[in-house]
């Protein structure tokens, strides 16, 4: 997992790159509603890594921000999809 900025025709959004498979990227974007979107592999050219104080943005910090937004927009974790809940249970791969 890593924190990215995704630019498309609707503008730029922050997201978490959850997984990359053979044909698709799975990305959780900061968009209402919060959900895991499946993007074609060629969309990866519009991803840029986010930085925080000169280093890659911490995934745990981004997950905290997503939890805060989920609570505000959806009323809590009980009202989001299974895929979004699964993202919070994955290892963050940070040291």
DSSP string, 27-82: EEESSSSP-EEEEEGGGGGGEEE-EETTEEPPHHHHHHHHHHHHHHHHSSGGGS-H
pTM over 0.75: yes
Using an 8 Å Cβ cutoff, are 85 and 91 in contact? no
- Tell me the mean pLDDT in the region 3-7: 94
pLDDT score for 95 = 45
pLDDT score for 94 = 64
- Tell me the mean pLDDT in the region 74-78: 89
Mean of the per-residue pLDDT values for the chain? 91
- Tell me the mean pLDDT in the region 39-54: 93
pLDDT score for 77 = 87
- Tell me the mean pLDDT in the region 8-26: 93
Is residue 93 scored above 80 in pLDDT?
A: no
- Tell me the mean pLDDT in the region 30-44: 92
């Amino acid at each position: 997992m890593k924190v990215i900025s995704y630019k498309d025709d609707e503008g730029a959004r922050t997201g978490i790159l959850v997984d990359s498979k053979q044909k698709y990227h799975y990305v959780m974007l900061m968009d209402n509603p919060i959900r895991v979107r499946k993007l074609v592999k060629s969309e990866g050219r519009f991803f840029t890594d986010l930085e925080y104080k000169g280093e890659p943005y911490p995934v745990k910090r981004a997950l905290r921000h997503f939890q805060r937004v989920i609570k505000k927009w959806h009323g809590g974790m009980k009202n989001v999809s299974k895929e979004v809940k699964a993202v919070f249970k994955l290892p963050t791969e940070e040291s």
